[in-house]
């Protein structure tokens, strides 16, 4: 396996002391481990490569997502060092991150904070203020991908507007492209976006009218995107809980919980520790409904990607919320 010239240049590698070999796997890319020598010491990187515009967009989004998370909680995920177009392969793109050595919990003594504590820290750290704004807003500097869905992240100052437009209505458009027109689903999504979302998520309603502060979220935190491991693959480092494959944005902290609830893997002890650091948003009595509303997006996204039974899960959530809040009050 030969390392592309663009990667060598981006990382300032010496080809004579650098090797690359296939490592791991991904549903959307080819993955490899780069081993080199820097300042007399062995250094490992993880690389993804893919073809086409979709791969280019996906890798740019993952690069910025990893570094947004890493900037707030460095031990939560690998840093990303470079992304871009390949030189030696026409139409190819790459992403290079710190190597993440995934291991079982028992393979070495654990160190550092728990995943709940790290996520709590991430979700209580205000997102950075984008250029041109005077305070943090909702969105992200680039498009990110949840699965193979390209998510529009244009900045919005209102969270309810962002969630309605950039998530629910946007994923409906993809679903209609892949699955064909669906008048019932379209009607339910628009009613949810236009009535339920403002009712539950408006700034004037959350936290007794104080609204919410945007924070960095992973965006695709199901159990398959977390593990135990060492960032950098250092043999002298203890194993700790880490995450990977993010599709981040600046969002409401509880948005993260939607896919966590959908697929499970985060029990009551995890949530108790997490909420001890990042409390539930007021009104607390609507917490479960907000999480269900956020879970809805991932049912719709999976329906757009895979079709099948995910539609029924989305419809069930929308009908339930509609019965409870559908009068728009």
Q: The tokens 């539950």 sit on which residue?
A: 200
Contact present, 265 and 223 (Cβ < 8 Å): yes
Angle CA(116)–CA(119)–CA(125) in degrees, nearest 5? 140
Query: 220 an active-site residue?
Result: yes
Element (H, E) at 63: helix 52-72
- What six digits make up the tokens of 292? 């269900």
Q: How far apart (Å, rounded) are the C-alpha atoms in residues 297 and 313? A: 10
Crossing angle of the two packed helices 115-122 and 52-72, in degrees rounded to 10: 90
C-alpha–C-alpha distance, residues 48 and 60, integer Å:
11
CA of 233: how far to CAs of 1, 24, 38, 223, 237, in Å? 21, 14, 15, 21, 8
295 strand-pairing partners: none
DSSP class of residue 208?
Answer: G
List 4, 220, 245, 289, catalytic entry: 220
CB 144 within 8 A of CB 217: no
**CA within 13 Å, CB half, 73:** 29
Residue linked to tokens 């305070």? 135
Q: Which helix (H) or strand (E) holds 170?
A: helix 170-179
Active site residues: 220
């Amino acid at each position: 396996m030969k390392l592309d010239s663009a990667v060598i240049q981006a990382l300032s590698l010496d080809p004579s002391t650098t090797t690359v070999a296939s490592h791991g796997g991904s549903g959307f890319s080819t993955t490899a481990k780069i081993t080199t020598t820097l300042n007399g010491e062995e250094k490992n990187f993880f690389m993804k490569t893919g073809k086409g515009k979709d791969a280019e967009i996906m890798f740019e989004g993952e690069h910025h997502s990893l570094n947004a998370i890493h900037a707030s909680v460095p031990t939560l995920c690998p840093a990303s060092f470079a992304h871009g177009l390949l030189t030696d392969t026409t139409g190819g793109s790459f992403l290079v991150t710190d190597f993440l050595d995934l291991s079982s919990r028992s393979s070495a003594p654990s160190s550092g904070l728990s995943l709940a504590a790290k996520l709590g820290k991430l979700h209580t750290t205000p997102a950075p203020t984008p250029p041109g704004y005077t305070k943090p807003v909702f969105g992200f500097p680039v498009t990110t991908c949840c699965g193979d869905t390209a998510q529009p992240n244009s900045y919005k100052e209102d969270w309810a507007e962002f969630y309605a437009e950039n998530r629910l209505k946007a994923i409906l458009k993809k679903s209609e492209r892949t699955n064909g027109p669906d008048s019932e689903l379209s009607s339910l999504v628009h009613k949810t976006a236009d009535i339920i979302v403002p009712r539950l998520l408006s700034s004037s309603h959350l936290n007794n009218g104080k609204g919410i502060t945007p924070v960095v979220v992973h965006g695709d935190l199901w159990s398959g995107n977390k593990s135990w491991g060492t960032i950098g693959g250092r043999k002298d480092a203890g194993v700790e809980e880490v995450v990977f494959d993010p599709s981040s944005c600046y969002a409401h902290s509880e948005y993260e919980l939607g896919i966590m609830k959908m697929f499970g893997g985060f029990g009551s002890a995890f949530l108790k520790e997490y909420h001890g650091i990042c409390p539930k948003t007021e009104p607390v009595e609507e917490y479960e409904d907000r999480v269900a509303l956020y879970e809805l997006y991932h049912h719709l996204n999976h329906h757009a990607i895979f079709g099948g039974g995910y539609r029924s899960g989305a419809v069930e959530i929308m009908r339930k919320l509609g019965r409870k809040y559908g009068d728009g009050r």
